[in-house]
Structure 1
Amino acid sequence: MQSLPISLVVITHNEAANIARCLDSVPFVAEKVVIDSGSTDDTVAIARARGARVVDQAWLGFGPQRNFASTQAAHDWILVLDADEFLEPPLIEELQQRLPGLMASDAAAGILRRSTWYMGAPMRWYRPMVGEKLARLYHRGRARWTDARVHESLRFDGQAETFRAPFHHLHNPTLPHKQLKVLRYAELKCRDWHARGRPPRVWMAPLVYLAAFLKDWLLRLAILDGWRGFIVSHVAASYAMYKRLRYYEMHRNPESIEQARDVLLRHGLDR
């Protein structure tokens, strides 16, 4: 398979269960780069065995870590995947056909569609997990990730081309995995709010829960995915509410910021 002058970039931390599948699913790139933030499992060894160049970088937050990763690529065009994501033949074929034209143009980015597996099977109706559009291909001179600690996004000027075939995302293996991630993501988001001096507005928490649940369950069609749809709507709404509660606690008891940092560090949830 002829390689294209593109760098695949993956940021990792203890992704031994996923990294081989992710790297092996992208056979057409000239370079594979893994930016690892202190994995204690076999992530680094597996990545190197799969032909990836591994760069050690202490965790900077999602946005800054991705921007650092862009500087480590050998090529201007970059494909970004998370370790629990992978390509399949229909998208591989489409990318091989269309990427040369995209790269020869003045476009800044490519938009990929993501299909998510949840509780062991693909979601069929819930819109954020069926054909979600994400900017994952970009020219590093025309695009940059936001500096958010979590929920970063790619910002770019210029045109973007959308690809039809989806790539796949294996969602958190279990609800305990998800809840641990919720704790980490919520803490990072609250630190961003705290740095910006955002008012806590804890009175909004119950309303935020209700609005978020109904938005996902009804408007985003989670109701059509049965009990999995109910669960994913509840988890998302609980996360939205918990962030407000935790942020209120930061204001009410500033000592809780370092106390939470310590306990999350002990459990490997802050780095």
Structure 2
Amino acid sequence: MTERLPLSAVLITLNCVGPLRATLDSLRFCEEIVAVDSGSTDGTIELLQEFGAKVIVEEWRGFGPQKQFAIDQAAHDWVLCIDSDEIVSMELRASIETALIQPAFQFYEFPRSNRFLGRYLRHGEGYPDLSLRLFDRRQARWSDDIVHEKVITLGIVGRLQGDLLHHSEDNIEIYLAKQNRYTTLAAKALIEEGAQVPFAKLLFSPFFRFIKFYFLRGGWLDGTPGLIHILIGCFNSFAKYAKMIEFSRR
């Protein structure tokens, strides 16, 4: 087999031992696993060490800065950034290994399939959810956003076949708690940037979001899990703008 470029898998962790074993198991093809942990107490660090990961304990900086710090710790220039509740499918693994034999691009994105209430969503806002996670760290970096972080690139992004499998919380209570944190962070970030309170978006964004993802993007094809997933997303949109109003009045 033709030799490919070495790859570092990079992730950030905090008390995520539940889904982490499947994630790490799917990363065995990588030459290195680097994890930056911000204070786990549930066995996460011990599990990472069991898989031979390089573990760095670092105080939380926000999603973008934390992920950038993590890739800076990698031994190899090509990095695969993955969350602790994501699994690299066999088809995606094959695509990654083929691409790294002779990379045609410096950055690659691929579909992410969200598992929700026991079902992988294939329509609506749950798919294809293209995610740029494989790149040459010398040519790209994570943004400084504390939430909704993104990889900043200058150049054409290639696309790989195969899904990154995202195991969203099957427990709706836990899933809602996570979404509550994300909308708070997003609202605070917008206020700090000087964004105006969008009263029109407060009223109409959830409605148009539902039309787009449930009807136009075929979310109804994902059955009840798809409907619930989209409705929560619509409420998240409302909650973010409502929190902006609250924060602006403090």
RMSD value over aligned CA atoms?
1.7
Measured at CA, do residues 243 and 89 of structure 1 come closer, stay the same or move farther in structure 2, by a change above 3 Å? same
Percent identity between matched residues is 31
For residue 154 of structure 1, what is the amino acid of its counterpart? V
Query: Is the contact between residue 111 and residue 131 of structure 2 (CA under 8 Å) also seen in structure 1?
Result: yes
Query: Is the contact between residue 4 and residue 102 of structure 2 (CA under 8 Å) also seen in structure 1?
Result: no
Query: Is the contact between residue 3 and residue 27 of structure 1 (CA under 8 Å) also seen in structure 2?
Result: no
Between the aligned partners of 2:12 and 2:246, the Cα distance in structure 1 is 31
Shift of 1:194: 1.6
Between the aligned partners of 1:201 and 1:132, the Cα distance in structure 2 is 26
Q: Which residue of 99, 102, 109 maps to 1:111?
A: 109
Matched, 1:213 2:210: yes
The more displaced of 234-243 and 176-185 is 176-185
Question: What are structure 2's unaligned runs of at least 5 residues?
Answer: none
Shift of 1:77: 0.7
Between the aligned partners of 1:160 and 1:202, the Cα distance in structure 2 is 36
Q: Which residue of 2 aligns with 1:145?
A: 142
Q: RCO greater where, 1 or 2, for CA within 8 Å and sep 6 or more?
A: 2
Q: Which residue of 1 aligns with 2:54?
A: 53
Superposition pairs of residues 188-199 of structure 1, within 5 angstroms = 188-199=185-196
Matched, 1:29 2:26: no
Superposition pairs of residues 76-115 of structure 1, within 5 angstroms = 76-102=77-103, 107-115=105-113
Superposition pairs of residues 1-271 of structure 1, within 5 angstroms = 4-102=5-103, 107-126=105-124, 128-252=125-249, 254=250
Between the aligned partners of 1:20 and 1:229, the Cα distance in structure 2 is 26
**TM-score normalized by structure 1?**
0.87
Shift of 1:171: 1.1
Shift of 1:203: 4.6
- Deviations, residues 55-89 of structure 1 (Å, cap 9, x unaligned): 11111111111111111111111001101101122
Name the SS of the counterpart of 2:246 in structure 1. helix
Query: Is the contact between residue 22 and residue 86 of structure 1 (CA under 8 Å) also seen in structure 2?
Result: yes
For residue 29 of structure 2, what is the amino acid of its counterpart? F
- Deviations, residues 215-255 of structure 1 (Å, cap 9, x unaligned): 22112211222222221111001000011111101112x2x
Query: Is the contact between residue 22 and residue 85 of structure 1 (CA under 8 Å) also seen in structure 2?
Result: yes
